[in-house]
């Protein structure tokens, strides 16, 4: 990011190198801070706020950043809410970027003395219950892959890993051949913050991997082609590492093939499905589920404890007082 103002660039470098944030997360920080400082410059200059994308932020320096008031941050959030229809989650994310920026420059670089965002509360975010496929729908999705498809083994393996392991899209795309143990009992994925974790594979995953690996090289090198990304597990039609967009397109296509289109399902909903099926049907401990999903905070995982009415019913019946009725004895 050579054209990014130094005051912003130093913060982004800290997030990427010291806090080990992913390039995508760093880019999101930049986009949010760029929008914020565009607003500050435009507002102070009396410019049209409907054309923020045209505002140049190259003038942003420590002096400008240090002159921002708490009221201006509130004004920015109000603008996003009223004029841009940003909801609580989007507002919270942008405010988090601003808070992190000022926290860095007041506590780490110590080039600023005042943090105008410090006392601003983050908007309350309503977390809807996760949408997920039922067991029957999951089986329908797996069965939807056509037997004559040239990529059937790859596509089946991708969907199997999603539904059984609950991995993120970026984690699946990033799997290398050497991430898989020799006996195919486990694999290593790189999650958020570049943190690595081990995922243990069940029979369905091992069988799907074995079937795909038997034909991976043969199909990739058909018609004289060569494999470009030799260590990537999943390859695209161009023999490069499969992209996020290709996997998203694949899942969308298979959801349509299985008659599940239009229900709000997506790649990420397959992660929800794996977590929900493990918790509701497999009686997986919540802390084990936290490790499987790679959640830093337990409260992120706990959303899956609220999706099973059957579990709630069973818990009530398990109370030793559930069969006691003293009225009949009196």
Residues with catalytic roles? 168, 192, 268, 271, 295, 304
d(CA 116, CA 110): 14
Phi-psi region of 310 (alpha: psi -120 to 50; beta: other; left: phi over 0): alpha
d(CA 11, CA 158): 37
Neighbouring residues of 63: CB distance < 8 A, sequence distance ≥ 6:
none
Please classify residue 211 by burial: count the beta carbons closer than 10 Å to its beta carbon, then call 0-12 exposed, 13-18 middle and 19+ buried: middle
Q: Write 225-234 long-range contacts (CB < 8 A, 24+).
A: 231/176, 231/177, 231/178, 232/175, 232/176, 232/177, 233/175, 233/176, 233/177, 233/179, 233/180, 234/154, 234/157, 234/158, 234/172, 234/173, 234/175
């Amino acid at each position: 990011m050579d054209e990014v103002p130094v005051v912003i660039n130093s913060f982004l470098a800290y997030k990427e190198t010291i806090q080990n944030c992913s390039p995508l997360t760093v880019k999101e920080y930049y986009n949010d801070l760029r929008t914020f400082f565009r607003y500050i410059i435009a507002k102070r200059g009396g410019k049209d706020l409907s054309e923020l994308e045209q505002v140049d932020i190259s003038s942003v320096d420590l002096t400008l950043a240090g002159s921002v008031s708490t009221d201006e941050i509130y004004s920015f959030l109000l603008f996003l809410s009223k004029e841009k229809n940003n909801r609580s989650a989007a507002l919270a994310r942008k405010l988090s970027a601003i808070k992190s920026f000022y926290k860095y420059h007041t506590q780490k670089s110590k080039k600023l003395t005042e943090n105008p965002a410090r006392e601003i509360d983050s908007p309350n975010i309503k977390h809807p219950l996760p949408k997920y496929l039922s067991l029957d729908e999951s089986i329908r999705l797996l069965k939807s892959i056509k037997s004559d498809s040239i990529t059937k083994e790859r596509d089946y393996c991708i969907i199997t890993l999603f539904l059984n392991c609950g991995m993120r899209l970026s984690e699946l795309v990033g799997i290398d051949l050497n991430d898989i143990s020799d006996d195919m009992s486990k694999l290593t994925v790189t999650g958020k913050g570049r943190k690595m974790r081990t995922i243990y594979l069940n029979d369905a995953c091992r069988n799907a991997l074995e079937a795909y690996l038997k034909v991976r090289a043969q199909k990739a090198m058909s018609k004289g082609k060569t494999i470009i990304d030799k260590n990537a597990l999943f390859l695209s039609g161009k023999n490069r590492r499969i992209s996020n967009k290709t996997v998203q397109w694949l899942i969308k296509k298979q959801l349509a093939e299985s008659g599940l289109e239009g229900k709000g399902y997506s790649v990420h909903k397959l992660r929800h499905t794996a977590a929900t099926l493990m918790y509701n049907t497999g009686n997986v401990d919540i802390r084990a589920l936290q490790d499987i999903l790679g959640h830093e905070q337990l409260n992120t995982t706990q959303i899956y404890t609220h999706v099973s009415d059957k579990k709630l019913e069973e818990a009530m019946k398990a109370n030793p007082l559930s069969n006691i009725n003293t009225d009949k004895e009196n």
